[in-house]
């Protein structure tokens, strides 16, 4: 369309978009009045001749008026005044994408890089036109931009693209010279994850327009891509965990493919993925953390026929399995079978240790599993520090009055501020029957409390919901089908709390179907629900006799369902609970040369953010070398410290963090990452036209596709950056004016002859 526009209007669209319209004649009023007089006389003559205002007359008057108006427009000498670069006195930055995605051959013949070089290096006509007016400065980029000679070869071996960093580097490098603009030649496949807003604002403030040239196809079809893998960074040994894999497809609607999961090269799971009409499908892969250490998991789909980029069919994640010991405090208000069977389920478990505080009689408390003679000797903890030493909390059949007002408050803070996990069990003194309505605990619960009664016992058959079926903690067997079959054969349980309503944002994982003839028959009841609360997690298990899954006559003696359920549930409860000092890395798998950010969260014994601490990290590289990095307080958040480093060698890196305050050790933590040759450029490798168009529009430039760059040299000429002069472009002799004038006069004459008026 632009060539047609230029032919009709004499100039390219940029002249009209950026220029200022004006008339150069000194007597516009006289011409306008004369034109209007002529048009009026013509109209009067037609009306006098016809004696009435008919459709034909209106059309003839309109054509005559248009012709007169066009002549008047030309006589007024219309012009567009626009800023233009002074020839030979401005620089022009040319940025060439040197990343691996430029190796792709979209047309099956030349690669993207070859097409870019053909237009902007060597003896191309476009380059000659640019050199006539500007002094080009060439840059190659993947991450940060680097100066290059025009004839220097490009390897197209950059592991990742960072458009923002490249543009900012060029802006800084040419800040002291008259810069007319920057030409960005790229496929726009920015995979740095960095925000572009700040670099674009700086370019706009500096008055540097970016002329973006997009190279490559905007859509690959057919194509499969593992767009995202969401895996936990750390998992407690012995836990079941899930990894969510998002698969994006084009041209595979209605087909089914096989997703394979490998751990350190060995296949550990396979799963079918069926594609509906949408572009993306999520698959949840269930895995077992049965080996301590850092493990590389690879998720892949076999390439389909005709796929252009098979490298994007696989992604990897680093998962560290930690053999650590977690303490859970279980408070019970009366002797119950649950205490015995929960402890029995966890007997011999080296990773979850349950400490029981049970009221055995009035004013008598029984302590089980304590590791210190003074632990819980005064009963339930009275201070944040004492309670926050645990990572999980179970409240059984115990009424709210068992606790003081302060203890109820610190239980709420245990979840919201410390980030602990709390599980509420059903019983005679639980939920509303325990008087928890109106207490701080009511806010933590994921269910809406019902009436204050626990007299009726309702028998329910428990089944996982759709969300529960996908939950790692509720997998009772190795496959989803076997797990569901086991749930269907479990004996029913009982509840005194027929709760039906969840709080907004809560998830229902297990539902109960009441037995026929009960007061709650017909409705689905809550059995297990959970919600995020502050930094922590809260769950409610409303049944009161889960031990029946161990002791019921229908359950075989060797059956491990009850043990598996409680081990997985408690691991899930404490899986995301932070320590006093925690260390996170920006990525588990990185490419050599890619910066890694270390983030430490340091808190005091009451889990309040601790500022002013001395936080250091020791990084051990694959060759055994060590370096010590100080982490600086971010100021933005209490207790948050950051530092960064760049892995230089392929292989595993270990980071050991320590924090001290006032001469005392606060805590320590470790993290692992691995530098690998990632195929980052293979993901999202389609030409990202919306991103390139945004860069151009927000800086005052224009966007072009590789096959449509003929007008680039002319467009860059009309810039307001660098050294410029104001040019005047005359419009009176535009072809569109002559064509319209001839059309109006010729059309009028033809109509007059046809209607017998000539």
pLDDT digits (tens, 9 = 90+) for 20-45: 898 887 655 555 556 655 665 565 56
Least confident of 275-279, 390-394, 404-408, 484-488: 275-279
CATH of 223-322, one of 2.60.40.10, 4.10.320.10, 2.30.42.10, 3.40.50.300: 2.60.40.10
Q: Look at the alpha carbons of 127, 95, 219, 223 in this order and tell me if their dihedral is positive or negative.
A: positive
CATH superfamily entry for domain 87-218+686-722: von Willebrand factor, type A domain (3.40.50.410)
Domain boundaries, the chain: 2-84+728-754, 87-218+686-722, 223-322, 326-574, 581-675
pLDDT, residue 36, reads 59
Q: What is the mean pLDDT of residues 452-464?
A: 83
The CATH T-level fold of domain 581-675 is: Immunoglobulin-like (2.60.40)
pLDDT, residue 455, reads 65
Q: What is the mean pLDDT of residues 210-227?
A: 92
**Contact indicator for 389, 371 with CB cutoff of 8 Å:** no
Q: What is the DSSP letter of 575?
A: T
Q: What is the mean pLDDT of residues 202-219?
A: 93
Q: How far apart are CA 259 and CA 285, in angstroms?
A: 9
Q: How far apart are CA 745 and CA 570, in angstroms?
A: 89
Largest CA distance in the chain: 120
CATH of 326-574, one of 3.40.50.880, 3.20.20.150, 3.30.1340.30, 3.30.70.20: 3.40.50.880
Q: Is 610 in a helix, a strand, or coil?
A: coil
Please provide the average confidence, as pLDDT, over all residues in the chain: 90
125, with CB counted inside 10 A (0-12, 13-18, 19+), is exposed
pLDDT, residue 93, reads 95
Please indicate whether the domains covering 87-218+686-722 and 326-574 agree at the CATH topology level. Answer: yes
pLDDT, residue 452, reads 64
Q: How far apart are CA 471 and CA 440, in angstroms?
A: 28
Q: Which residue from 422, 486, 433, 424 is spatially nearest to 457, judged by alpha carbons?
A: 433
Q: Is the predicted pLDDT of residue 91 greater than 90, yes or no?
A: yes
Share of the chain above pLDDT 70, in %: 94
Q: What is the mean pLDDT of residues 576-584?
A: 95
Confidence of residue 53 (pLDDT cuts 50, 70, 90): very low
pLDDT, residue 9, reads 87
Least confident of 41-55, 420-434, 572-586: 41-55
pLDDT, residue 398, reads 97
Confidence of residue 122 (pLDDT cuts 50, 70, 90): confident
Q: Quick one: how far is CA 718 from the chain centroid?
A: 38
pLDDT one-digit tens code per residue, 247-289: 999 988 889 999 999 999 999 999 999 998 788 999 999 999 9
Report the chain's C-alpha Rg in angstroms.
Answer: 37
Element (H, E) at 344: helix 337-345
How many C-alpha atoms does 306 have within 13 Å on its Cβ side?
7
Interior angle at CA 657, CA 654 and CA 662, nearest 5: 165
pLDDT one-digit tens code per residue, 741-751: 999 889 888 88
């Amino acid at each position: 369309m632009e060539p047609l526009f230029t032919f009709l209007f004499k100039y390219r669209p940029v002249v009209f978009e950026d220029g200022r319209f004006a008339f150069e004649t000194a007597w516009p009023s006289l011409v306008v009045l004369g034109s209007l007089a002529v048009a009026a006389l013509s109209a009067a003559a037609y009306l006098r001749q016809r004696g009435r205002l008919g459709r034909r007359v209106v059309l003839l008057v309109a054509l005559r008026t248009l012709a007169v108006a066009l002549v008047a427009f030309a006589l007024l000498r219309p012009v567009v005044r626009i800023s233009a670069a002074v020839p030979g006195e401005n620089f022009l930055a040319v940025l060439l994408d040197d990343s691996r995605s430029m190796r792709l051959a979209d047309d099956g013949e030349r690669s993207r890089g070859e097409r870019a070089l053909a237009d902007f290096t060597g003896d191309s006509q476009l380059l000659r036109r640019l050199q006539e007016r500007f002094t080009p400065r060439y840059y190659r980029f993947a991450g940060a931009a680097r100066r290059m000679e025009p004839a220097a070869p490009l390897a197209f071996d950059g592991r990742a693209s960072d458009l923002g960093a490249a543009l900012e580097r060029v802006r800084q490098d040419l800040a002291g010279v008259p810069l007319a603009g920057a030409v960005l030649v790229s496929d726009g496949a920015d995979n740095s994850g960095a925000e572009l807003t700040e670099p674009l604002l700086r370019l706009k403030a500096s008055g540097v327009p970016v002329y973006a040239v997009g190279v490559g196809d905007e859509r690959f079809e057919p194509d499969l891509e593992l767009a995202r893998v969401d895996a936990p960074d750390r998992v407690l040994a012995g836990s079941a965990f899930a990894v969510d894999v998002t698969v994006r497809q084009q041209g595979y609607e209605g087909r089914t493919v096989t997703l394979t999961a490998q751990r350190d090269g060995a296949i550990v799971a396979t799963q079918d993925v069926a594609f509906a009409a949408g572009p993306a499908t999520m698959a949840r892969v269930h895995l077992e953390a049965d080996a301590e250490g850092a493990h590389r998991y690879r998720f892949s789909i076999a390439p389909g026929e005709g796929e252009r980029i098979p490298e994007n069919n696989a992604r990897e994640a680093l998962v560290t399995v930690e053999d650590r010991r977690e303490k859970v405090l279980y408070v019970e208000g009366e002797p119950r079978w649950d205490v015995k069977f929960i402890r029995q389920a966890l007997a011999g478990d080296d990773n979850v240790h349950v400490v029981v505080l049970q009221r055995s009689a009035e004013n008598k408390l029984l302590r089980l599993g304590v590791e210190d003679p003074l632990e819980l000797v005064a009963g339930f903890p009275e201070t944040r520090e004492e309670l926050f030493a645990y990572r999980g909390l179970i409240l059984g059949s115990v009424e709210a009055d068992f606790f003081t007002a302060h203890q109820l408050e610190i239980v709420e803070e245990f979840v919201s501020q410390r980030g602990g996990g709390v599980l509420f069990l059903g019983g005679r003194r639980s939920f509303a029957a325990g008087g928890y309505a109106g207490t701080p605990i009511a806010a933590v619960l994921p269910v809406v409390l019902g009436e204050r009664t626990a007299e009726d016992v309702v028998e329910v058959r428990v089944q996982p919901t759709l969300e529960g079926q996908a939950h790692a903690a509720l997998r009772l067997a190795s496959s989803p089908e076997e797990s569901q079959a086991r749930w269907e054969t479990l004996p029913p349980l009982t509840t005194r709390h027929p709760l039906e309503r969840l709080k907004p944002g809560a998830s229902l994982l297990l539902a109960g179907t009441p037995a026929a003839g009960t007061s709650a028959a017909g409705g689905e009841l809550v059995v297990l629900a959970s919600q995020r609360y502050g930094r922590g997690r809260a769950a409610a298990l409303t049944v009161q006799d889960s031990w029946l899954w161990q002791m019921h006559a229908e359950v075989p003696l060797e059956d491990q369902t009850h043990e598996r359920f409680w081990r997985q549930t408690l691991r899930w409860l404490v899986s995301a609970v932070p320590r006093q000092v925690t260390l996170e890395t920006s990525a588990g798998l990185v490419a050599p040369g890619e910066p890694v950010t270390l983030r430490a969260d340091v808190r005091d014994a009451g889990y309040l953010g601790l500022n002013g601490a001395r936080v250091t990290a020791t990084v051990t590289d694959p060759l055994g070398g060590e370096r010590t990095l100080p982490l600086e307080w971010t100021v933005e958040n209490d207790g948050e410290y950051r530092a960064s480093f760049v892995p230089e060698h392929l292989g595993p890196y270990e980071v050991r963090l320590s924090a001290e305050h006032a001469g005392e050790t606060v805590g320590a933590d470790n993290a692992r990452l691995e530098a690998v040759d990632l195929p980052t450029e293979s993901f999202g490798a389609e030409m990202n036209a919306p991103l390139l168009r945004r860069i151009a529009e927000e800086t005052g430039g224009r966007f072009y596709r590789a096959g449509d760059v003929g007008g680039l040299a002319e467009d860059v000429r009309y810039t307001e950056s660098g050294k410029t002069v104001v040019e005047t472009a005359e419009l009176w002799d535009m072809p569109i004016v002559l064509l319209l004038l001839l059309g109006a006069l010729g059309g009028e004459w033809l109509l007059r002859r046809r209607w017998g008026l000539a």
